[in-house]
Amino acid sequence: MKMAIILNIQVYLCMFFAFLQTEGTRNYKENAIIINNFLRQPGWNNINDVELIKYGNNKHELKNLIFNPVKLFNCNDCIRQAMLFLGCSYANDLDLINFSLTKFQEHCFELLVSSYTSAHNCTITLLMKMIEIVPMAECMKGALDAIDKYYIFSRNSERRRNRIILSRLLTNIQEGKTLLTTLRTSLLSIEDVLKTIAEILLSRRKELDEDKSFCQLKHLDFDSLWNLWILECNTLKFQELFIFLGDKISNFILTTIKKKYIDLGFKFDWNTNQTFLPVQLSTSYNHGMAQNLSTNFTQNTNYVNTQETIKKNDITAYPSILRINDVEIREDIRQENNNCEVNDDDSAELVYYPKGQEPFNKYL
């Protein structure tokens, strides 16, 4: 009898510790309510570029996540799935931006053959766009971290705390701002600066490929998209392709923040630079947030139109895959751009240097 009791106790202890080691750790009621409300935000309709995510040796569809109620027993799973769906969608956006920047860099390199001045202006604009991505990366990482805060870790999942999708890439993008800023005033040649940019973009591409292993994304033909951009640029009669590409990237950054941050109800504290999940559903919050975020984003990214062409050719009036659909945000951006000073110092006297080796900062 005593032996049976001891065996039963051992069995119960084994079951207890096995429960602690599973991913099915129960969450708190308050967290379940918050996550349930979060998954009812209208912005989830914008996560339409992710077909499936891979989690827990299974594949999951978004419709099952946003339509099924969040309870204590499935709260942790819902949190992980929400992070992966949003992270995969962010990865898709970053992939498109990385593709755009790569084409941008290649175009700047081609300009070295015909015009050093144009190549310099192109590279300066490229660096500005790469710096402009940093606030978007901060929003993305803040959003994913805000979701992760509600996850209750079991003992065996502690090792996974640092394996948040896109965490390393988004951190590297933010930390890379110093290097990009330094390159703008560098003594390196234009060619060397462009080679450094190419290395940065290649590194980001490799990190993206690793994170996208969690995702099954809808296919986007980048080559066809590039041909579409060339056609659109010619139709709009842009003087420089790099100006057109810069405008595309700026529009896409703001569109992404609007659709996949603001519309998801994330709250940003400008004093602490932290992102929080909405505690409850709100219909009045997004309107004011859209205006504040677009204004602060424009102010904090040094978004300056260095060419009058951008002002004269408003491509937002034309159909495009990268478009700001929200009229109020678009008006905010235009008002901010009108208040920016245009740098006319690009007409500095040219000095002869060996082909492609002129100092990058000789125009600064």
- Region of 322 please: left (phi>0), alpha (psi -120 to 50) or beta: beta
* One pLDDT digit (tens) per residue for the chain, 364 residues: 555 555 454 544 444 444 334 344 556 889 999 999 999 999 999 999 999 998 878 899 999 999 999 998 899 999 999 999 999 999 999 999 999 999 999 999 999 988 889 999 999 999 999 999 999 999 999 999 999 999 987 655 544 444 689 999 999 999 999 999 999 888 889 999 999 999 999 999 999 999 998 899 998 888 888 999 989 988 887 778 999 999 999 999 999 999 999 999 999 888 888 899 977 665 444 444 444 444 444 443 332 332 333 333 332 322 222 333 333 334 433 443 343 333 333 332 223 234 444 555 443 4
Q: 182, 228, 203, 201: which is closest to 109 by C-alpha?
A: 201
In the chain, the amino acid numbered 270 is W
Q: Cβ neighbours of residue 65 under 8 Å, at least 6 residues apart?
A: 39, 78, 81, 82, 85
Other Cβ atoms less than 10 A from the Cβ of 324: the count is 20
User: Under a CB-based contact definition with an 8 Å cutoff, are residues 143 and 275 in contact?
Assistant: yes
Where are the domains positioned within the chain? 25-363
How many whole angstroms from its chain centre is CA 206?
Answer: 16
What is the pTM assigned to this prediction? 0.73
CA distance 252 to 247: 9
E strands along the chain, which residues?
50-55, 58-60, 215-217, 267-269, 274-276
Tokens encoding 92: 């898709």
